[in-house]
Amino acid sequence: MDPSGDTTCLLSESALMRKLFTSFILFLTLVLIHPVFAAEKTSTILVMGDSLSAGYGLKPEEGWVNLLRLRLQQQNLNYRVINASITGDTTQGGLARLPKALQREKPDIFILELGANDGLRGFDISLTRNNLNHMVELAHAGNAKVLLLGIQLPANYGRSFREKFRQIFADVANQQQIAFVPFFLKGVAETRDLMQADGIHPAAEAQPVILDNIWPVLQSLLTSTDNEA
């Protein structure tokens, strides 16, 4: 009987057991850790708008964008919401700053709420339409789904201009085949008690109504984004 042979055999068996144990630990780690990583994936919603989304005249927590954050949390939907809205912004201003915002945030969903100030300032209809189209195209190039929020002008702007302006948003939505809310201030702009003293900006009480106007359309994008994750 060769004692050295027994020792070699024992060493081989020991090495084999170590390899099997290491492989088992690695397998167990992958099984346990992978679902955690998957669950932690966070999608991004980028909102680009004007004072109507920036929360003009409101406390930071009162605006519809922050209420959206809260609703997503309450429904255990793993999204971060970036509000890139600026009071007084136009479609031209939004177009100028959108490329950097898309590069920085890499949104899964892009909510576009611009155009009101174009209309209030009497900008050329074709300019506003072209700017909106270009922004949608940039968002699509960044693989973001787009939700366009339409707006309407007050009656004192005249029926013809008001109708042409309203049609801009429908035209862009149809041309680009994107999600669309025709008038996201529905039930708000016509209700004096839901507007601030200036008659232009929605009050705090209006913000839940605004979110409810947007939510059903946005929800379909949330569902499709989750299914792709």
Q: Is the pTM of this model over 0.75?
A: yes
Q: What one-character-per-residue DSSP string does 123-192 give?
A: --HHHHHHHHHHHHHHHHHTT-EEEEEP----GGG-HHHHHHHHHHHHHHHHHHT-EEES-TTTTTTT-G
Task: Quote the DSSP letter at residue 112.
Answer: E
Question: Among all residues, which ones are annotated catalytic?
Answer: 51, 198, 201
Q: pLDDT for 57-92, tens place per residue?
A: 999 999 999 999 999 999 999 999 999 999 999 999
Taking a C-beta distance cutoff of 8 angstroms, is the pair 65, 59 a contact?
no
Q: pLDDT for 108-167, tens place per residue?
A: 999 999 999 999 999 999 999 999 999 999 999 999 999 999 999 999 999 999 999 999
Task: Give Cβ neighbours of residue 158 (< 8 Å, ≥ 6 apart).
Answer: none
CATH 1.10.10.10 fits 42-228, yes or no: no
Q: Measure Cα distances from 151 to 16, 60, 162, 172, 173 in Å.
A: 71, 23, 10, 13, 13
**What does the alpha-carbon distance between residue 97 and residue 27 come to, in Å, rounded to a whole number?**
46
